[in-house]
Structures are given as structure tokens and as C-alpha cells.
Amino acid sequence: MALKPSIPKGTRDFSPAEVAKRNYIFTIIKTNFEKFGFQPIETPSFENSETLMGKYGDEGDRLIFKILNSGDYLAKADVSLMENKDSLKLTTQISEKALRYDLTVPFARYVVQHQNDIEFPFKRYQIQPVWRADRPQKGRFREFYQCDADVVGSNSLWQEIELVQLYDSVFSQLGLGGATIKINNRKILSGIAEVIGASDKLIDFTVALDKLDKIGADGVKKEMLEKGISETAIDKVQLLFNFSGTITEKIEKLAQLLADSEEGMRGVNELQFICDNVTTLGLQTAFLDLDVTLARGLNYYTGAIFEVTAPEGIAMGSIGGGGRYDDLTGIFGLKNMSGVGISFGLDRIAIVMEEVGLFPEAVLATSKALFLNFGDKEALYAMKAIVKLRQNGIKVELYPDNSKIDKQFKHADKRGIPFAVIVGESEMEREEFGLKNLATGEQQKVDFKTLVTLLQ
């Protein structure tokens, strides 16, 4: 008995209708990327393991899919490592490549590798799938697309301001009005860690703080204690767990808290500049908010940090995120190359738009009309018209088989095709076409010129 086919957990098949909806989102994001001056690049689906490992912190490294070496991958492996079941060291011997975890680190590798051919500042966008060995749940998959826009070669904070506007432009055009663009700054987090005497625990501190909305204040405190951050230090940041007010009020509170931290005050001043100018320029439908608990536990962010949440009332995690990384290319040998970028979570955006009903009916990639098949002679007459209609950019097709007409009508209905074109002997004699609106049942005889007009 044949096994029932299946796909790995955390992956999905997409129907024609779903692909059409995803392409609708892709098109809007791509159009906005190019409107803001970003250029497209592509990188391989897998990279050398050394390119990816160690760039995302311990948690990120555990989620990277490793690819076994070709052939007898155990032939050159250290026998003692296998006997001791030392999987971490053994992995480096049997796996030299890995599926990309995100698009940012491969982009940094690309910039370093092609630095002599790039005009800086370099604004690039990339829309490709990534893979993470995460636990699948609603809105979280093991294979998903990222849509990234990054600028490298500029320290200017005007780039951050433009990226906030880019988020606003995309979500407004998608109809997701009311999305919240959360902003923070890694220098502020460093300043807080300095003020409480836990600078050596910055990564542990930020990784735990980043989980506040998931595990709550008690969970964050517990994790900080487990990481060696003292109870006294945690008490000093108690106010961060209930940080409210306008952006201006929040910045004022941070300035007081971080008055003795040079690094922290640099972060405060950067946030002030970005938020003031975004407020002056205005946003279409999105909201900008300062969230001091926003940490995004990735090692490479050094300045502004972004995260976008869906409009109020929609239960979904972040639908976008990013930040500034001053030393990312440095890990590949190119120093002093600052960059900043954002990413759109396509899959989560699609889920939200489906739930709210934001996809236009015209999005479905279906034919505008189905020509019914009455036989080879009639089919040839129909095909001559089909060729000309397609040259006019109209999506039409011929039912391939000379089946019962009722079956052909049902096929058009199940496909969501709005019109049927009927070509029998009488239509051929008069050089006409019978056009039937399958939604209303209305039918009329038209010449070819009128057919083109009605189907456009």
C-alpha cells in the first residue's frame, strides 16, 4: 500500500489563489522598494556554514538548518566524537553548508565579496525564502519569505527616517492602516545595562527583555536571574516593564535614567532626531511608538531597532522588523561599513490580510473568459480570437476537450472565470461571439472589437 504523501512540519503548499494573493503583496512591496531607490539582488539559498554560524547568538545558531556533506559524510569524521555523541563538534565535520537563516548576513557577505563593484551608499532589496528550525505555530513557519530593504555605507539617521516612511507607505497601500512601528535603540539598552552594573550581561539582558510580551515581567525576571543578573540590578529597571506615555515623555524619562551613561545618551539623542523628524514629516496611516523593551535578540544590531505589529485587535506577532548594524560587514573583513535595514514578514502579512478581508477580488490570477469547445473546427476559430486577445493583454483560454457543455460551464464556475465565450456554427457564419456573464446569466452576441472592449 502506497504511503500517504505529506510535507515537513512548518512548510506549506500554496494553491493558485494563495499564490495570487502573495504575489499581490510582493508587487506592492517591490514597487515601494523601487520607489524609495532600492535595487534588487539575489543570493544562494544556502551558504557556507562559517558565513552563518555565530552571527545570530546561541538561540539563532540552534535554529539554522545544516546540510549534510555529499557522499559518505561520515568517512572523515572523528570516531571519538561519534562515540562521545559530541554533536556540536561533529556537525562541523559532516556539514559544511547551511540553509540561510535570514537575508541580512548573506547580504553582508555579498557586500564584502563585491565591494569593488558596488557604488556606496548601496540600497538593495531582496525577496527570497529563508529557513529556520523553529517550532511551527500560527504565523511561524520553518520556510518563509523575507522581503528586505537595506542601506550600507551611510551613518546618516535620515536612512532610519526613510525606512519608517517605507513601512508606512507599504502598509497603507496594503490597506493595513493602524500598524504600529515600534522603535528603540541598542545604545539605550547598553546604557541601561551600564547603569545597573550589568554591562557584561548585555546580550543576556536584551534577549530576556525582548521576551516581555511573550513571558511577562515575572518570566523575564526569572530568566535574567538565571543568566546571572542580580536582583538589585533588575529592581533598577523595574520601570521598563510598565513604560508608558507619549514618545516625547518616554524620551524624557530615558534621558533622566541614562544621564550618567555616555552611550545611553547617544541612543537617546538618535531616537530624538528620528522621532522628531518623522513627526514633522507625518505618516499616512501607521503609528510610531517608542518601546524600550524592544531588543530583538540578534547580536548584530548596534543602533535603531524596529518592529512592526499588526493593527489593534488582530492577534499576530510582528509583521516586520529591522535595525542598524555598524559592524556586520566587519565580521567578513570590511571595517567601518555601517548599515541599516528592515524586513517585511510576508507570510504573517498575508494571514492578517486574509483574516481582515483586504485582498481585492481582482487579485485572483484566473482567466477572464473561457472559450467553450464545440469541436475542432469551432476550436480553431476560437483559438484565432484567443491569440489576438492575448496580444491585447487579456487572459483567456480554450476548454481543451469537446465535452458536454454543462461540464464546461461548471469548470468555468469552479475556476472563478467570470465569462464564457460560445462559438458555434451560427457564430462562425456571422463572425460573431456569444459572450455570457456567468454571474448574472446575461448573454449577448458581439463582434471581435466589442469582445475585446468588454473583456478588458
pLDDT over 60 (residue 297): no
Angle ∠(57,162,37) on CA atoms, nearest 5: 100
pLDDT band at 162 (very low <50, low <70, confident <90, very high): very high
Contact at 8 Å (CB) between 140 and 86? no
pLDDT band at 37 (very low <50, low <70, confident <90, very high): very high
Please tell me the predicted confidence (pLDDT) of residue 83.
Answer: 67
Q: Within 361-402, where are the H helices?
A: 376-391
What's the helix, strand, coil split of the chain in %, to 5? 45, 20, 35
Least confident of 17-31, 199-213, 283-297, 367-381: 199-213
pLDDT over 70 (residue 139): no
pLDDT over 80 (residue 362): no
Q: What is the pLDDT of residues 73-129, one digit of tens each?
A: 887 777 777 767 767 777 878 889 999 999 989 999 999 999 999 999 999 999 999
Using CB atoms within 10 Å of the CB of residue 387, give its burial: 0 to 12 exposed, 13 to 18 middle, 19+ buried.
exposed
Q: What is the pLDDT of residues 395-446, one digit of tens each?
A: 999 999 999 999 999 999 999 999 999 999 999 999 999 999 999 999 999 9
pLDDT over 60 (residue 298): no
Q: What is the pLDDT of residues 185-240, one digit of tens each?
A: 999 988 988 888 877 777 787 778 778 878 888 888 898 888 888 888 887 777 77
- Residue whose C-alpha cell reads 542598524 in the numeric block: 324
Least confident of 79-83, 350-354, 452-456: 79-83
| Mean pLDDT rounded to a whole number for the chain | 90
pLDDT over 60 (residue 387): yes
Please tell me the predicted confidence (pLDDT) of residue 1.
Answer: 67
Please tell me the predicted confidence (pLDDT) of residue 422.
Answer: 96
DSSP state, residue 244: -
Which amino acid does the sequence have at 333?
G
In the chain, what percentage of residues exceed pLDDT 90? 64
Please tell me the predicted confidence (pLDDT) of residue 275.
Answer: 96
